Amino acid sequence: MTAAELSLVAFALFNGGRAVAYLPQLIRVYRDPHDAAAVSLATWALFAAANVATVCYALSVTGDRLVAAVFALNAAGCVAIVAMTVLKRIWARRPLNMGATRGVT
């Protein structure tokens, strides 16, 4: 196996694992009773932006669709974590009794 082939195998394995690793983080955000306060939106947004930049680079400079696809998956995972965290925080701030006092004078 050449160094290039070994690098491709390592790239595929580690980035495939990274794509799967977003699922436990999403579950933790969903189950967090403290509105996912420990999740840094800035960090995950930066990770998403870096992945999108790599997708753009892979498509426009190297023309490597495999690399672009892998990083697009990683970008989607980061965006999902950001979206889930934002939704969790919005839902936590909603009044629990919205509409409960309607019609009461």
* Residue-wise pLDDT tens digits, 36-85: 999 999 999 999 999 999 999 999 999 999 899 999 999 999 999 999 99
Structure-derived torsion over alpha carbons of residues 76, 81, 84, 90, reported in degrees to the nearest 10: -120
Enumerate residues 6+ apart whose C-beta is below 8 A from 45. 78, 82
DSSP conformation class of 94: S
Whether pTM > 0.85 for this model: the answer is: no
Q: Which single residue is written with the structure tokens 């909603």?
A: 94
- The DSSP symbol for 104 reads -
Q: What angle do CA 62, 66, 68 make, to 5 degrees?
A: 65
The alpha-helical segments, DSSP class H, found in the chain are 3-31, 41-57, 65-93
Say which DSSP state 59 is in. I
Residue 104 predicted with pLDDT over 80: no
- Domains in the chain: ranges and CATH: 3-90 (1.20.1280)
**Residue 102: pLDDT band by 50, 70, 90 thresholds?**
low
What is the C-alpha separation between 15 and 11, in angstroms, rounded? 6
